[in-house]
Amino acid sequence: MNILDSLKYYFGLYCCDYGGTNDLFIKVNGNRFKIIRLLAEGDLTFVYLLKSLDETLYRNRNYFALKKITCPFGDIESVSNALQEIDCYKTFQNPYIVSCLDSQIIQENDGSKTVYILLPYFKYGSIQETINKNLLDGTYISEQQCIRLTIDICTGLMCLHDPKKRPYEDIESNFNSSTAFNTTDDTDALLADTPLDASTIQSHPNHGISYSHKNLKPSNILISNDHTPVIGDLSSCSKSAITFSTETQLETFKEWVSRNCQLEYAAPELMNPKMNSTIDTKVDVWSLGCTLYNLMFGISPFEREEQLNGTPKRAAIQTGSFSFPQQSRYTQGLLDIVSKCITVDPALRYSAKELLEQLAILQVNT
């Protein structure tokens, strides 16, 4: 089955039509788009590149990424997770965090639900693609570029971590002008078997809560048209202060981490949570430190440790075992910042605020 046939198969069951040619189209809340190609896929998630047929929509953008999530009949968790992801896009209005342009939930005849999330398309890809290109070309990113990118990413993290950094004023009107979760008379029925309801997704009761991304990595940091990094994929984003008081809670969280967090960038407290311990926003600082290391050297620190010394990545993460290549491109000041981010004890690790302060100092002195 070729790509076009695959697209027709997957979308033929949903909101699609054919334009009398081999072109395939889809509607999201009544707005019609042409499907260009498949960008990515997971078990129940597909991401497609779309082209708008109405160039006046969504601030005159032409191309979009559509995330399609299939929620099987009776799978309450998948619906709840999709709606939580939409609510995160709605809550964090920040230039360094991706925003949702539109969304729709559809009840299918077989009892399953399909969730569409319409997102901006980033033609320059992600930081991972920048890393890959540098490896292929034998080039590297300068220290000043590393610092600038990390400052921008850290600024985005501050919006997640610190409720005071979010734009409370007119957030509802700002969201409605650019992104909307369109509800219908059937919405309450669609959500009846989930922990959320229509009133929950249309309001913002959690503005005062601190969140963490929990799966920050190079492929989840997108590059905008002006080459600003933008934190993407908020599917793993949730409140940051997580405490375990029962073994059931602990095991449930471990299973969630195994499905949603990439080992090479996951903090040790995520990979091996303890009873009566709390997981906070510093998991993102660890991930950012690993991302910065990869940006500098073209490999994550614990992948390199495994290649050099044979230490399994999980064991290296738990002990914080990694090293820097012999090089002269980057100052000791930047290496020290990376080391402070990748510190096993969260109490000794930078917060996002502290990291931002240290990067600003280094930027001035470099």
125 vs 228: CA distance, rounded Å: 11
- pLDDT surpassing 80 at residue 198: no
- pLDDT surpassing 60 at residue 148: yes
For 350, the token pair is: 């930078």
79 vs 103: CA distance, rounded Å: 13
Lowest mean pLDDT across 185-194, 221-230, 319-328: 185-194
- Residue 299, judged by CB atoms within 10 A of its CB (0-12, 13-18, 19+), counts as middle
Q: What is the pLDDT of residues 276-319, one digit of tens each?
A: 888 999 999 999 999 999 999 999 999 999 999 999 999 999 99
Residue 183 binned pLDDT confidence (cut-offs 50, 70, 90): very low
Q: What is the pLDDT of residues 226-279, one digit of tens each?
A: 999 999 999 999 999 899 889 999 999 999 999 999 999 999 999 999 998 889
355 vs 150: CA distance, rounded Å: 9
Three-state DSSP at 306 gives helix
CB 69 within 8 A of CB 82: yes
Average pLDDT, the chain: 85
Residue 154 binned pLDDT confidence (cut-offs 50, 70, 90): very high
Q: What is the pLDDT of residues 316-331, one digit of tens each?
A: 999 999 999 999 999 9
Q: What is the DSSP letter of 118?
A: E
> Mind giving me the DSSP string for 37-71?
EEEEE-SSEEEEEEEES-TTSTTT--EEEEEEEEE
132 vs 141: CA distance, rounded Å: 12
Give the predicted TM-score (pTM) of the model.
0.85
153 vs 149: CA distance, rounded Å: 6
* Percent of the chain predicted with pLDDT > 70: 81
- Residue 119, judged by CB atoms within 10 A of its CB (0-12, 13-18, 19+), counts as buried
Lowest mean pLDDT across 14-28, 77-91, 112-126, 212-226: 14-28
Measured CA to CA in angstroms, residue 161 lies from 73, 166, 341 at distances of 34, 10, 16
- pLDDT surpassing 90 at residue 180: no
Lowest mean pLDDT across 55-69, 167-181, 324-338: 167-181
- Structural domains of the chain, ranges and CATH numbers in brackets: 1-121+179-206 (3.30.200.20), 124-166+210-366 (1.10.510.10)
